[in-house]
Structure 1
Amino acid sequence: MTSAKVELFDEELQLAAGYFKALAHPARLAILQYLAASKMCISGDISNELPLSRTTVNQHLTELKNMGLIKGSIDGVKVNYCLNQSRIKELKQLLGSFLDSVELPDNQSCKS
């Protein structure tokens, strides 16, 4: 079996790849947008806001929570979900740095 060999890359690239993987589905982006637009923690069923089953939404919430982009706390039988502001800020900084590192100069062109 082959290995992904992620350990060959520096921590910042590994962290960026983890964030990008967590963001690599439109449902996860929609969840983040919904939580940001609501400007508060959501207690209830986020699946009512998405065209996906509750089970599928829960899987996407788990991915976002595992990456630390959202927080979830149990309140009785419900879970309250919020954006994790510190991780969102970290993501914004990391994404900006990454995009700056791959930006091409205006005068560079590739010929096929």
Structure 2
Amino acid sequence: MAKYWNTAATTDPRPSGRLLLCALVLIPLGVSARDLSQDEALALTEQGHIVPLQVFVNDALQRFPGRLLEAELELDDDRYIYEIEVVTRTRRVMELEYDAVTGDLLDVEEDD
């Protein structure tokens, strides 16, 4: 019986179950989030689908006075997320994540 399985494994052109499982696990990992362009963000704001960026920048700077470093809008698992980075007056870099639809603050981290 072992000889049969070894022969089948070398002559059968179909992918093994293990290979197929690995492919199915890896495919979703690469497509969970994507950055949106400025044009896409503007269109979503004008259509009323997301809160304007300035609201989040103002909130981030109120929480951590300093200056804006970067702002990104991404679509992550069908959810619009703003990532706002600010540098504080004490030179700490803070990253805040907001739900772009509800305005909720989701996470705050200090970058290294």
Question: Would you tell me which structure has more helix in proportion to its own residues?
Answer: 1
Which has the greater radius of gyration?
A: 2
Query: Looking at both structures, which has the greater relative contact order when contacts are Cα pairs under 8 Å and sequence separation is at least 6?
Result: 1
Question: Would you tell me which structure has more strand in proportion to its own residues?
Answer: 2
